[in-house]
């Protein structure tokens, strides 16, 4: 299935479709990939593969930008369809998503790893049959207390102060994804891990 694509990457932003979810913690991946699209003058408006996607180039490299429309828990269905169609291996699939273990404003770049409790990543790992894909984790802050409902937390919004910090980290997340494409995960991690406004 994989191995035919040359110099081609897929960047995925995770979130839930619908205006009611647009400003929630779970939709940071959508917001970050929108910034990449804006930077590269790319429209993410092709409806296929159970998602919305766009195609562009960056530094001579072909990029596909994808926003799965399956809702978060089934994100992998969209990712595997597009990556299989264009023969993009997991190692060249970058996923941007929210992380409750990091405070707003902070990022963490990883080259691979487990789902860490994130249902969107869990779905992608299950569908790809691999966890060897780079990811950019965008901090959204921990639950206010251990008994708080996680689903309610990630579907809630941000305070004004958090939004200010988030604006910087979303831009950094977009830049980090493009840095991975151009210079690799190691360089991106050195530059952006732990970044804070």
Catalytic residue list contains 26: yes
Q: DSSP for 16-78?
A: --SGGGTTSGGGHHHHHHHHHHHHTT----EEETTEEEEEEEETTEEEEEEEE-S-GGGHHHH
Global pTM exceeds 0.85? yes
Choose among 16, 20, 19: nearest CA to 28. Answer: 16
- Span 46-81, pLDDT tens digits: 999 999 999 999 999 999 999 999 999 999 999 999
- Span 75-127, pLDDT tens digits: 999 999 999 999 999 999 999 999 999 999 999 999 999 999 999 999 999 99
Sorted by where each begins, the domain ranges of the chain are: 8-192
Q: Which residue out of 26, 118, 145, 196 is catalytically annotated?
A: 26
Fold for the domain defined by 8-192: Rossmann fold (3.40.50)
Q: Tell me which of 144 and 51 has the higher pLDDT.
A: 51
Q: Please report, for residues 61, 151, 181, 194, the alpha-carbon distance to residue 143 in angstroms, rounded to integers and kept in the order given.
A: 39, 10, 33, 20
């Amino acid at each position: 299935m994989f191995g035919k694509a040359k110099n081609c990457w897929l960047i995925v932003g995770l979130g839930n479709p619908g205006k009611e979810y647009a400003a929630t913690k779970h939709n940071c991946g959508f917001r970050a990939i929108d910034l990449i699209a804006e930077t590269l003058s790319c429209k993410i408006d092709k409806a296929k593969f159970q998602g919305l996607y766009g195609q562009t180039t960056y530094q001579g490299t072909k990029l596909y930008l994808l926003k799965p429309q399956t809702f978060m828990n089934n994100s992998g269905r969209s990712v595997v369809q597009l990556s299989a169609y264009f023969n993009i291996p997991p190692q060249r699939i970058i996923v941007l998503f929210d992380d409750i273990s990091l405070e707003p404003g902070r990022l963490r770049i990883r080259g691979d790893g487990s789902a860490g409790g994130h249902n969107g990543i869990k779905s992608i790992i299950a569908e790809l049959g691999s966890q060897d894909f780079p990811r950019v984790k965008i901090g959204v802050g921990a639950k206010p207390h251990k008994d708080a409902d996680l689903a309610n937390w990630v579907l809630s919004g941000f305070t004004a102060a958090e939004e200010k910090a988030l604006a910087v980290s979303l831009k950094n997340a977009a830049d980090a994804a493009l840095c991975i494409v151009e210079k690799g995960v190691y360089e991106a991690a050195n530059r952006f891990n732990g970044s804070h406004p």
